[in-house]
Each structure stands twice: as C-alpha cells, then as structure tokens.
Chain A
C-alpha cells in the first residue's frame, strides 16, 4: 500500500536579485514519487537535482521563502503543515545529510535518547550504538570529538530508535567504511521488511542496488526515470532515460566515462527537456516542451525517445 504519495510537486524560492527586486527560482518541477509500505525507494541523481529539497518538503522544513505547489499525502490524507509538525520525528523520521545537524552542545548519547518514544531510552541507545559498532565511551562525547563516520552513525541511531513508519535517509552512507555501510543498509532493509517505507536518498548507486526495490533518478529538479532495481545491470541497456544510462556508465566499476557538461542551474533551465543540452540522442522536438512522465516497461520515464 502507498503510504506517502508526492504528486506534481513544484518548489520555487523567492530570491532577491538586486536591491529590492525579487525573482522566483524554480528548483523542483512536476515531481512524482510514491513510497510503498515494505519497500525501499532509492533516489539517485547529481547534487543540486532536488533530492534533499524533496525530503525537506515532505517534512515541512523548507525555508520561509519557498513556494510549494502540488500535493503530498501521507496515509491517504493530505499532509498539511500542522500534520507535518506532529508527524515528524514520530511517524516520519529524517536522517539528515549534513553531520552539522547534531547539537554541538549536547552529548551524543543524550541526543539519541531524546528520540526514543517508548521504553528505556538509555538501553535503546546503548543497544543501537553496539549494533552500529560505536564504542561505549562515545555516548559521552560531544559532536566535535567524533569522526565523520561516527557522527553519521549517531544520526542513523536517532532514526533507528524513533520507531517511525517512514524513514527518509538523506545520504546516510558517504565516508563510512564498508562494514558499517552494510550494517546501516541492513537496518534499512529490516525497517522495510517490518512494514516501514524507506526513502534512501543517495548517489551511491551500488549500495542502493543491494537493498532497494525501486530506483528514482533525479535530474535538475525532476524525476527522469523510475526503474526496478534489476534494470541497473550490464552496460545499462535495460534503463530507459539517457541520463540514467550515462550515470550508470560513469561509475568506477563500469566504464568510468563521464559525459561532458553540467546540470542546468535552476534560474537557467532549458525550455524543453531538461537533459536535452547534454543528451546524445536529443532532437529538435526535445527542445519544444518538457516531456511528460510515462509508463514504459514496468517503470516510468520522462523522455520522448525512450523505448
């Protein structure tokens, strides 16, 4: 069952250009994703493609100058600001991307205990630390005393003990060693197998492949493809969108060959398909209008040429 549905989400920011002039910058345009109970959806794409913004929009923690259109519903009901405030941290938990999200003035053990809603908070915190291989002395440390990997495991611990039904993990793995990554990913799989829904925002496609059910590929603020995990295989011929293929081929374990250019900036988006300027198979038609998302071979794609 779908627990979280994001439909046609667009986000723009009011920005001051010069003196008192303002302009509206589109950062996410007509984005659709669905989280199913018991499923892990991995969201991959370049930085600046709107992955973290999506997470922040779901939790209702975007800055004040953000304009949001489209709908987000949770458990069949529209997610209003009031509902977001009551659900975050209890039913919907975020594992933030930056390790700066830890309170610099609070011992990390206490920060984790704060998230425990039922039962013995100290015991729960110690159990999760042991599981993530954080030594017993770590609970008394302050964030500045932790290495990057230890701080990340602390953030992960807060979500694990919270008992949430939807977990949104924003880049939980970079900088961790393989043993801890495996442990963290197994935790996500366990969440999902117990009926939770997990959104794993990552650029580590390889890790995502080991646990995710579906993969959504983001580019310049929109979903270009949603594919079952099996499609990420071989030289990517089963993938639908040319950007997904390029991303797959650029991995070090594949060809490690980058396509030139960079993602367009939000204030300078192409009028048609957002990927057209870098696309090897783009035609004149691609520059006319942004293609709609359509069903294709058990997945979805936003490309008129995809077969």
Chain B
C-alpha cells in the first residue's frame, strides 16, 4: 500500500504556481516529515494528498491505483486547529461517529474520557478536541495519516501523549504517517526521513 504523488502541480486561480513537478512517496508504516518555509504550500499539498483539492497537474495513486473518489478516503488529514474541524452544533459523540464508530480501546489509548462524549466542542480544550479528531480519523482504519501541525497548539505533555498513541496504532496497523511541523526537534524524534517540499 504505497502512497505515491507524481509530478504534482497546483495553483489557486490564475495565481503563480505554488509548486510544480512534486514527487513524493510514502511506504506503509513509514513516517515521513515534510518541511518548507511558511506560505510555500505545505498545507495545500496535504489537502491534495487527502483528496480535499484536485491537483492541476500530476496524479495521486495508492498501490498504483487512483484513489477512490467516493466513500471513506484512505488518506486522512488531521488539521492544526481542531476547533475548526468539528461541527460546533454537534455533541462530541456525534462528531466522533462521523466516520465509523471507533472502538473503545482506541478512545482509551487516546485518553478520551467517557464524560467528554456528551459535551459540546466549545466546552473542551484544544488538546481534548484534537484527540477526538485523531480518533475520528483513525476509526475507519485509514492507510495513511497526515498530521499537519497536529500538536502545534498543544502543551508538551499532551503532545507526547497523543503522539505515543498515534505511533502505537501506526505500528500495529502498518499505517504510514506524513508529519508537517516547524518543530525540528519533534521531527527528529518521530520521523524516519524528512523531505523539503521544494526538493522532492
């Protein structure tokens, strides 16, 4: 189950090309870091990999096949700001079961407490919400997870807690992870290899 991006090019409207000719592969179970200066299109590239945007040039394949456009997307993206990634009018239990219902073991591993399920998103802290976003993405067994500044807004203890859980699941399922972060130390700690967006 290799994720492969070939010759990807993208721009917004008639604007300048954000990037062109980008090649990128992730193998199952591999953890790859992605860096670039701010505004260079890291998040856009992640959105393309996860199917939120269509690339204007090039193709995304998994195991040589195009990514299915319907149903659950095998590449799941976790955003930097969880409060913007959940429906503010849904209680957490409904937010969580937007994909498949995650098993209790997963919730336990992520430190999600039963009592949080009956709360509204604005009653939880950023760290608590981000755990839900991770659980929602992992519930349906994606092949790849993209962590776009996933723990940037969180304190060091919460960051380490969430990463421990994610790494354990990734190892068990042979899931590939793409990490976007500006924190060099975190990248060194987590990634098998780090690539820069311009130099693929």
Interface residues of A (CB under 8 A from B): 44-49, 146-150, 171, 174-181, 203, 205-206, 246-248, 250-253, 256-263
A selection of 25 A-B contacts at a CB cut-off of 8 Å is A147-B38, A149-B39, A150-B38, A150-B39, A174-B80, A174-B149, A174-B153, A175-B152, A175-B182, A177-B36, A177-B37, A178-B182, A179-B37, A180-B37, A180-B38, A205-B156, A251-B185, A252-B183, A252-B186, A252-B188, A258-B158, A258-B160, A258-B164, A259-B157, A262-B111
Contacts of B159 in A (CB 8 A): 250, 252, 258
Contacts of B154 in A (CB 8 A): 46-47, 203
Bound-state Cα–Cα, A203 to B154, Å: 7
Q: Is the CB of A247 within 8 A of B188?
A: no
Q: Is the CB of B182 within 8 A of A181?
A: yes
Dominant secondary structure of chain A at its interface with chain B: loop
9 other contacts beyond A46-B127, A175-B149, A252-B156, with CB at 8 A cut-off?
Answer: A46-B158, A148-B80, A148-B149, A175-B80, A181-B182, A252-B159, A253-B189, A258-B160, A258-B161
Q: Interface residue count for B (Cβ, 8 Å)? A: 34
Contacts of A203 in B (CB 8 A): 153-156
Bound-state Cα–Cα, A205 to B163, Å: 18
Knowing A47-B126, A148-B43 are in contact, say whether A258-B157 is a contact too (CB < 8 A).
Answer: yes
Bound-state Cα–Cα, A152 to B190, Å: 26
Identify which of residues 140-158 in chain B touch chain A, using a CB-to-CB cut-off of 8 Å: 149, 152-158
Interface residues of B (CB under 8 A from A): 35-39, 43, 80, 111, 113, 125-128, 149, 152-161, 163-164, 182-186, 188-190
Q: Which residue of A lies closest to B188 (CB)?
A: A252
Bound-state Cα–Cα, A10 to B188, Å: 40
Bound-state Cα–Cα, A181 to B35, Å: 15
Q: Is the CB of A251 within 8 A of B39?
A: no
Contacts of B153 in A (CB 8 A): 47, 171, 174, 203
Bound-state Cα–Cα, A121 to B136, Å: 47
Contacts of B37 in A (CB 8 A): 177, 179-180
Contacts of A147 in B (CB 8 A): 38-39, 43
- Nearest first, the 6 closest Cβ-Cβ pairs linking A and B are A149-B38, A48-B125, A258-B160, A46-B155, A250-B156, A253-B185
Contacts of B36 in A (CB 8 A): 177
Q: Is the CB of A250 within 8 A of B157?
A: yes
Bound-state Cα–Cα, A115 to B128, Å: 35
Bound-state Cα–Cα, A260 to B159, Å: 12
Contacts of A46 in B (CB 8 A): 125, 127, 154-155, 157-158
Contacts of B183 in A (CB 8 A): 252
Query: Would you give the shortest CB distance from A275 to chain B, in whole angstroms?
Result: 12
Q: Is the CB of A48 within 8 A of B127?
A: yes
Query: Would you give the shortest CB distance from A113 to chain B, in whole angstroms?
Result: 22
Q: Is the CB of A250 within 8 A of B182?
A: no
Bound-state Cα–Cα, A252 to B128, Å: 20
Bound-state Cα–Cα, A179 to B184, Å: 12
Bound-state Cα–Cα, A192 to B160, Å: 33
Q: Is the CB of A177 within 8 A of B155?
A: no
Query: Would you give the shortest CB distance from B46 to chain A, in whole angstroms?
Result: 12
Contacts of A206 in B (CB 8 A): 185
Bound-state Cα–Cα, A49 to B157, Å: 13
Contacts of A177 in B (CB 8 A): 35-38, 182
Contacts of B128 in A (CB 8 A): 262
Contacts of A45 in B (CB 8 A): 155
Q: Is the CB of A47 within 8 A of B127?
A: yes
Contacts of B152 in A (CB 8 A): 174-175
Q: Is the CB of A178 within 8 A of B184?
A: yes
Contacts of B158 in A (CB 8 A): 46-47, 258, 262
Query: Would you give the shortest CB distance from A215 to chain B, in whole angstroms?
Result: 13
Q: Which residue of B lies closest to A135 (CB)?
A: B39
Query: Would you give the shortest CB distance from B48 to chain A, in whole angstroms?
Result: 15
Bound-state Cα–Cα, A150 to B42, Å: 13
Bound-state Cα–Cα, A260 to B111, Å: 9
